[in-house]
Structure 1
Amino acid sequence: MNKIIFMMSMSLDGYFETTEHSLAWQDISDELHIHFNEEIAAAGGMLNGRRTHSLMAGFWPTADEDPDAPKFVADYARIWRDLPKVVYSRTLQSASWNTTIVREVVPAEVEALRAAASGDLFVGGPDLLTTFQRHGLVDEYRIYVHPAVIGAGNPLFHPGTSLRLRLTESRPFTNGVVLLRYAS
């Protein structure tokens, strides 16, 4: 059965973005980006909240049109465009690039998506994660810990979150980022 996987980068002090919603503190090396490409290329779809989807849709649809873009960036743009995407939003009125808008997380509908997908489904966005956790829909966590302390920001896990996970893999990258892979 396909898994539902939460995949996100985090600072050493537990934040996924700054208070200004910046991700500029992340060190996405060529090696790490190629790894992300391999992970997402095997996916059956992406399940994102509105903010995460908007960030992605603001860059990836045309990133491969830049003649100076590295090959792995152009490759990811093609992967992202072709991948089926669901964006959970009560406010978004339209979306393109192989994207379906869904207003609410309904567990039976998520399970139907999981069953119909050609591979694992990747959840993006901490707010959406909280909803998926509440419904018991997350099978695996892939947390990329960056060697950066940003001091303040938006925490990866909401205050009050309680999880007991089992480490299944740890992988260091040459830029100091460490993948921590956990099963629920």
Structure 2
Amino acid sequence: MAPPWRLTTNLVKRPAQSYVRRMGKLIYSMFTSLDGYAADADGSSDWGGALDPVLHDFVSDQSRSVGTYLYGRRMYETMSFWETALDTPDPPDFVRHYAEVWQAADKVVYSTTLDAPTTRRTTVERTFDPVAVRAEVDALHHDVTIDGPTLAAQALRAGIVDEVQPYVAPVSVGGGLRFWPDGVRLDLDLVEQRAFGNGTVWSRYAVRRG
């Protein structure tokens, strides 16, 4: 049986009346310090994207093509904040925009210890199978992001990631949980880049194949 996060294929109409399916991409994207850590030695990443509404709106816009998020347990528990972010009175627009995008997407949590999800549109898988994940991404019409460096390391080592999109914050934390896995070489092509007023720089890299 197909996993619950598989959706029907999307067809994009072209002027010549032909139909072309938009292939999904597997994207690794998250905030990182300038010295390459997704979290500091205390496990904190509060420095990532420090309350810049323009940056937050950009993250929301980039997330609109994402239909499925893949998480490990720790990242899922962090991101589950967005399930109830709209329950507070008069949330800022940038909070509302991202919460709406996040709540509309499917979530898959890879964990051997999480009994049940606490958010809607969420399933729990016990093992991460790179071959199965790649096959599912290829069958989808939307993008899939893999969030959290520990889970992403498995996908990067397996060679199934299509793009890496780091948001590099202007801070050096000196140690912690690395954004890039050790022992993995990636040849990347810079596709686009944008800098923000708070010093954060977003880059989109395509992973070279072969």
TM-score bin, normalised by smaller chain = over 0.9
TM-fit CA distance, 1:75: 2.2
Equivalent in 92, 102, 109 of residue 70 of structure 1? 92
Shift in alpha-carbon separation, 1:170–1:48, aligned structure 2, 3 A: same
2:161 and 2:51 mapped to 1: Cα distance? 25
* Contact 1:43-1:118 within 8 A present in 2 as well: no
Amino acid at match of 1:159: D
TM-fit CA distance, 1:79: 1.6
1:111 and 1:164 mapped to 2: Cα distance? 19
2:43 and 2:90 mapped to 1: Cα distance? 26
TM-score, normalised via structure 2 length: 0.82
Greater Rg by CA: 2
2:61 and 2:45 mapped to 1: Cα distance? 21
1:12 and 1:98 mapped to 2: Cα distance? 34
1:80 and 1:116 mapped to 2: Cα distance? 21
| Correspondence for 1:147 | 170
| Correspondence for 1:176 | 199
Gap regions ≥5 residues in structure 2: 1-22
1:164 and 1:158 mapped to 2: Cα distance? 14
Which stretch of the first structure deviates more once superposed, 141-150 or 23-32? Answer: 23-32
| Correspondence for 1:159 | 182
| Identical counterparts, % of pairs | 39
| Correspondence for 2:107 | 85
| Correspondence for 1:32 | 55
1:4 aligns with 2:29: no
| Correspondence for 1:107 | 130
TM-fit CA distance, 1:152: 2.1
Equivalent in 55, 61, 83 of residue 83 of structure 2? 61
Gap regions ≥5 residues in structure 1: none
Greater RCO structure (CA 8 Å; 6+ sep) = 1
SS at 1:159 equivalent: coil
* Contact 2:25-2:138 within 8 A present in 1 as well: no
Amino acid at match of 2:160: L
| Correspondence for 2:12 | none
TM-score, normalised via structure 1 length: 0.93
What per-residue deviation string (whole Å, max 9, x for no partner) do you get for residues 70-118 of structure 1? 0120221222122011111111110132111111122342134213434
Amino acid at match of 1:16: A
1:41 and 1:114 mapped to 2: Cα distance? 16
SS at 1:44 equivalent: strand
What per-residue deviation string (whole Å, max 9, x for no partner) do you get for residues 135-183 of structure 1? 2110000011111112222111133232221111121112111112111
RMSD: 1.5
2:204 and 2:134 mapped to 1: Cα distance? 22
